[in-house]
């Protein structure tokens, strides 16, 4: 009887673990909000590092779905990669206003703060990511920003 109880407890724990992981994931994707076709085209342009084309697609997407934090995050990223730091900051801030735990926006605005020499602000974004990641700091965005901060500090000496 005892081994059966152990197996049942393990199965229940597994269901809880996987169920909560799915819940965390499903929080990132809001299926109730329509996605703009421009968002997908913008993502593809970003992946191809064609940031000018990405701006065109994502600007259209922002008109169609102005409350989409992903659109504003990618707009910020594209502007930053084109050296337009003011508009990049505006879009990152808007993404975080729309979705305060948007991991991508926290990472990218942190990287922008490093470009501006604002280590303290970058570290604040790292702290926010630590809390936003499903397993307290165990997500790609946290690791990427942590590495960028370490490189920044090493260059500074």
The residue range of the domain holding 6 is: 1-31
pLDDT interval class at 2 (50, 70, 90): low
Q: What percent of the chain has pLDDT over 70?
A: 78
User: What pLDDT sits at residue 14?
Assistant: 41
User: What pLDDT sits at residue 85?
Assistant: 98
Q: What phi and psi, each to the nearest 5 degrees, are found at residue 138?
A: -100, 75
Q: Dump pLDDT digits (tens) for 36-54.
A: 899 999 999 999 999 999 9
Predicted TM-score (pTM) of the model is 0.78
* Same domain (yes/no): 115, 149: yes
* Same domain (yes/no): 40, 14: no
Mean pLDDT of the chain: 85
User: What pLDDT sits at residue 12?
Assistant: 42
Output the 3-class SS for 45-102: HHHCCCHHHHHHHHHHHHHHCCCCHHHHHHHHHHHHHCCCHHHHHHHHHHHHHHCCCC
* Helix, strand, coil % in the chain, rounded to nearest 5: 80, 0, 20
Q: Dump pLDDT digits (tens) for 90-136.
A: 999 999 999 999 999 999 999 999 999 999 999 999 999 999 998 87
* Same domain (yes/no): 90, 22: no
* Same domain (yes/no): 105, 120: yes
- Domain with residue 68: its CATH number is 1.25.40.10
User: What pLDDT sits at residue 127?
Assistant: 97
Q: Of residues 75 and 1, which shows the higher confidence score?
A: 75
Answer whether 109's CB lies under 8 Å from 103's CB: no
Q: What is the total count of domains within the chain?
A: 2
* Same domain (yes/no): 22, 46: no
User: What pLDDT sits at residue 4?
Assistant: 57
User: What pLDDT sits at residue 38?
Assistant: 94
pLDDT interval class at 22 (50, 70, 90): very low
* Same domain (yes/no): 45, 118: yes
User: What pLDDT sits at residue 137?
Assistant: 76
* Same domain (yes/no): 79, 106: yes
Q: Which residues, 6 or more positions from 38, have their beta carbon under 8 angstroms from its beta carbon?
A: 57, 58, 59, 60, 61, 64, 71
């Amino acid at each position: 009887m005892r081994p059966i109880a152990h197996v049942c407890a393990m199965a229940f724990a597994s269901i809880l673990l996987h169920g909560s992981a799915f819940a965390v994931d499903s929080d990132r994707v809001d299926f109730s909000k329509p996605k703009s076709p421009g968002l997908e085209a913008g993502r593809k342009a970003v992946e191809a590092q064609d940031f000018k084309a990405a701006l065109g697609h994502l600007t259209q997407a922002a008109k169609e779905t102005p409350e989409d934090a992903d659109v504003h995050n990618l707009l910020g990223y594209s502007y930053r990669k084109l050296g337009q730091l003011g508009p990049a900051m505006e879009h990152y801030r808007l993404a975080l206003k729309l979705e305060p735990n948007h991991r991508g926006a926290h990472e990218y605005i942190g990287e922008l703060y490093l470009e501006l020499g604002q280590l303290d602000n970058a570290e604040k974004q790292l702290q926010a990511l630590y809390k936003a990641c499903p397993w307290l700091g165990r997500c790609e965005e946290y690791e990427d920003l942590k590495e960028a901060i370490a490189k920044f500090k090493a260059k500074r000496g």
